[in-house]
Chains A and B, each alone.
Chain A
Amino acid sequence: MSSNGAGMGHLTRLLAYAARLPEDVRRYVLSMSQAVPVVAQYGYRYEYLPSAGSLGMAASAWQPLFEERLIETIGRVAPDLVVFDGTHPYTGIDAARAAFPDTRWVWSRRGMWKPGLNVDQLAKTSWFDEVIEPGDLAAPYDEGASASALAHRVGPVTLADRDELLPRAEARARLGLPADGPIGLIALGAGNINDTSGDVGAAAAALRAAGCAVAVTQVDIARSAVGGDVHAVRAYPLAPCYSAFDVVIAAAGYNSFHELLRLGIPTAFVPNRHTSLDDQDARARYAADQGWSVRLEHVTVDSVSQALWRLLDHGREMADRAVAADPGNGAAAGAARLMEVLRS
């Protein structure tokens, strides 16, 4: 069960655990993300529960809807164990737990909360039989409330591992990208690619100036590009295709950050400071301080150009340093813990 975050992180972590569960375990996904249909490609069934944000509904009005839908779903699916991936366990989970006392509940709770925020949510630990914390490569810079809270900690959880990276030519073919020449990927969310005063436009201008073709993860951005020279890449999971790119300019959300570093892709991270809780700036700072990647505090054509020259010259060494520091995928350990809770 996943909440609805800014990206695909919650859903992707659940898929990472699910892929490493024993084959005879039936997986069923309940998600507040409208990206949930992607789980069907793994053979999992799913249901969608709209979030308060997607409805434009006040939280106080949405909560009874959530509770009713959750209890109906749990009653019908009758799971032995529910894994909730999110940083805010919604009121209603407690009621579902009380309604079905035989069902085990696990909270998959990533760290790197902004300092002083979300502290009250830790009290909801009592709703769960276990808390699993997917590790963060930037954990030494984690000053959030969850950093010192009790949890079963595992390594960074990603869906893909380095040995799943496709050969470059195959990745480019799969994404419909040109076979030759350097390509840079911009994964910064929405933006106007023709406006160099914005992040996406500035990054695109810098890539072009550096002689790189431009790829983006948003179809609308590619469609609006003047000149039509921007490639839209739409694949899930995208990680195995990261080998298609010479350089990536990405936000520092949990999923992108760990996939790009664990898979050894030269990257400039742009921390999204508008997240409600995720301390992306700390994550990007730590990686830069370790020499794993470049951190862009402000995105301008000049700042991205400087980052690109550095990455095109030294990006391989930086990415190799990150790979050398990788403790390994925590998804298997997370899945193993889920099975222990299930059998306890």
Chain B
Amino acid sequence: MSAPNWLKATARTIRNSDRLTSATDRVFGAVQGNRVLVDVATRVFAWDAAVPVVFLDAGKPLAGLAEPERLPIIVIDAIGAGDHLDDVLAEVSDLQAETRGFRPVLLLDQPAFGAARAYGYPVELVIPEDEWDFAGEWADYVARRRAMMLARYRAWTIVAVLDGRLEPTGRRLLAQLADYRPWEARKI
């Protein structure tokens, strides 16, 4: 089922308003556990249920694209990319421009904010492994950050970096988004 245009417009207005979003969050909370009401709310406020609607900067390669909030968010896990980070960012940018099908959010272990800003990509930064001196394992700390990013950014998946490039499986998945467009459910 696809929601009518007036309902989409209403939902869009609500999602663009912090105050109204807060109110609808309370509505969602109130209907939790009721399968029918949750289904209705999902259709109204996230009409392409395969991709949660999240406002997050899409990056400069998609400047001017209509409704970028409908595109899936992908965590680009560039921890350990080191000196290859510029190459990774260029690869992500090229892939994004080709597919116009995803929004990256970077996970870095180096404060390369300027490099990320050049592409307009959001950044999460973790403590580098060689500076870790807290209780617990660094790997667990990073794993928890990845879990947080999947939850709070409502990210679709994580694509890691291997030998200075996006790892092949993840890259193939992103490439599929050029014509596999789950946020345009009727067209699949």
Contacts and interface: CB of A to CB of B under 8 A. Distances in A.
Interface of A: 34, 36-37, 45, 47-48, 50, 54-61, 64-65, 68-69, 72, 76-77
Contact of B22 (A37, A48, A60, A68): A60
Contacts of B16: 58
B124 A50 contact: yes
Interface stretch (B41-49, B51-59, B92-100): B51-59
Interface SS, A side: helix
A65 B117 contact: no
B124 A68 contact: no
Interface residues of B, number: 29
B123 A57 contact: no
Contacts of A56: 55-58, 122
B18 interface: yes
A60 B127 contact: no
Contact of B54 (A61, A69, A77): A61
A47 B131 CA distance: 12
B144 interface: yes
8 contacts: A37-B111, A57-B56, A58-B15, A61-B54, A61-B55, A64-B152, A65-B152, A72-B148
Interface of B: 15-16, 18, 21-22, 25, 54-58, 105, 111, 113, 117, 122-125, 127, 131, 134-136, 141, 144, 148, 152-153
Contacts of B57: 55-56
B148 A69 contact: yes
A247 B124 CA distance: 39
Contact of A58 (B21, B123, B125, B136): B21
B123 A59 contact: no
B56 A55 contact: yes
Nearest to B19: A60
A62 B180 CA distance: 29
Contacts of B117: 34
Nearest to A72: B144
Given A48-B111, A68-B152, A55 B134 contact: no
B73 to A, nearest CB: 11
Contacts of B58: 56
B148 A65 contact: yes
A57 B148 CA distance: 15
Contacts of A59: 18
Nearest to A54: B122
Contacts of A64: 152
A50 B122 contact: yes
A60 B122 contact: no
A64 B153 CA distance: 10
B157 to A, nearest CB: 18
Given A48-B113, A56-B122, A58-B18, 16 more contacts: A34-B117, A48-B111, A50-B122, A50-B123, A54-B122, A55-B56, A57-B55, A58-B15, A58-B55, A59-B18, A61-B55, A65-B153, A68-B152, A72-B148, A76-B134, A77-B134
Nearest to A34: B113
A61 B21 contact: yes
B111 to A, nearest CB: 4
Nearest to A35: B113
